[in-house]
Amino acid sequence: MRKWGSAWIATMLLVLILTACGGSNTAGNNVVQLEFFQNKPEAKASFDELIAKFNKEHPNIRVSQVNPPDAETVLKTRVVKNAVPDLIGMGATDTYSLLAQSGIFLNLTNDPLLKKVNPQYVQMLSDVTGMQEVTGVPFALNASGIIYNKAIFEKLGLSVPKTWDELIATAQKAKDAGVIPFYFTYKDDWQSNLPFNDMGGSLVGIDFYKERRENKTTFLAAYQEVAQKQLELLNYGHNDNFGKGYSDGNRAFGNGQAAMYIQGSWAISEIRKVNPDIKLGFFPLPASNDESQTKLTAGVDTLLAISAQTEHPEEAKQFLSFLLEPQNSQQYIDQQNLFSAVDGVQQKDDSVSGLLPYFEQGKIVDFVDHYIPSAVQLNPTVQAFLQNKDINGFLNTLDKEWNKVAARRAS
């Protein structure tokens, strides 16, 4: 897969002034100080626990966590200011791709650290960046699909749907019984993107984005079915699909107000805060009528990278190796309701047991929005489409905005 234009990368290198070393230092008592910058506020306490354990076991190294609001923007600013943290935890997104291509991360290709994780997740990083060099270590994954209320399913005699037609029939049965089939939370634009991610990965696939970068295809040509089916789902929501946000949905679903919730694994802990006793299940959104083609949308929620300019790469690798130890990875995913990239570490929560076969069989596909530049403004564009229902207008807009970004990056 071709990277974005080399001239654009060179320009970014100049703009970001990637010449200075990271923010590490060695204290007078010979204790190596490492800064770990990560972007998930909900994971701060979990990382604090692991860092405390690491620091106790490694008295010659002291890791400190930094977790600011709007972390990706802060990270970009710090790159400009020549203050790249020693260690970075972030998602495998377009932002990671740009930073990786700009050379700020240590090249970890063939590093023993990568032998601890599933190679399929390492490949996800390469797919996102378009680079042969590997500059991050997958640590934790999240998943998107359909969370369902087991008690409602049992009461209505519903079974987990395996195909698109079965999904629509299940939604219709719930609707006929006076139960909200899906609780949509499209007041928050990022929520409207969830079905787009799930169906885009299964129906279109990730190779589309490699071809789109080469200008060999378009959203208008490839995403008609995704758009049509996302509109069809709206027939099975509630009476205020665009007036309720993510927090509203977690409360409503926790209180048993809907049978299904198109959502990510990150919502499980929030739902349980409302109702600790709720019995949840989780299945991939079946986007087609060929059950064998159903894949689970799952992506690298957190990768671990090291600054190319850190003064202490070996100590930084020690910390990454520590996080990748099975017991530490297990602790993290248990607390965060995530899935581990470390071989042999499995999420044991009953609510996601239905997803495990997809991980075990490798039947997963990355979040498609990881491949879409933020400047395309995918989330508000999807939200507007679901309101105006103009399929061609929606897909043409995505193509137009994609082309604008591609032109800037190629110049």
CATH number at residue 46: 3.40.190.10
Tally of domains in the chain = 2
Q: Is residue 171 part of a domain?
A: yes
Mean predicted confidence (pLDDT) in 332-340: 94
Q: Is residue 83 part of a domain?
A: yes
* Residue 244 sits in the same domain as residue 188: yes
pLDDT of residue 225 exceeding 70: yes
pLDDT of residue 301 exceeding 80: yes
* Residue 283 sits in the same domain as residue 336: no
pLDDT of residue 276 exceeding 80: yes
Residue 234 burial by Cβ neighbours in a 10 Å radius (0-12, 13-18, 19+): middle
* Residue 220 sits in the same domain as residue 166: yes
Q: Distance between CA 363 and CA 357 in Å, rounded?
A: 8
Q: Is residue 158 part of a domain?
A: yes
Q: Distance between CA 17 and CA 76 in Å, rounded?
A: 11
pLDDT of residue 25: 56
137 forms beta bridges with 304
Q: Distance between CA 105 and CA 125 in Å, rounded?
A: 13
User: Amino acid identity of 101?
Assistant: Q
* Residue 94 sits in the same domain as residue 33: yes
Residue 82: pLDDT band with limits 50, 70, 90: confident
Mean predicted confidence (pLDDT) in 375-382: 96
Q: Is residue 1 part of a domain?
A: no
Q: Above pLDDT 90, what percent of the chain?
A: 87
Q: Where are the alpha helices (DSSP H) in 214-348?
A: 219-222, 224-233, 246-254, 268-274, 313-323, 326-336
* Residue 285 sits in the same domain as residue 390: yes
* Residue 170 sits in the same domain as residue 288: yes
Q: Where on the phi/psi map is residue 140: left (φ > 0), alpha (ψ -120 to 50), or beta?
A: beta
Domain coverage including residue 282: 144-297+372-410
Q: What is the mean pLDDT of the chain?
A: 92
Of 50, 83, 82, 88, whose CA–CA distance to 67 is shortest? 88
Q: Residue 339: phi, psi to the nearest 5?
A: -125, 145
* Residue 78 sits in the same domain as residue 160: no
State which of 25-29, 96-100, 216-220, 268-272 shows the largest mean pLDDT: 216-220
* Residue 206 sits in the same domain as residue 311: no
Q: At what angle do helices 378-388 and 391-410 cross, to 10 degrees?
A: 160
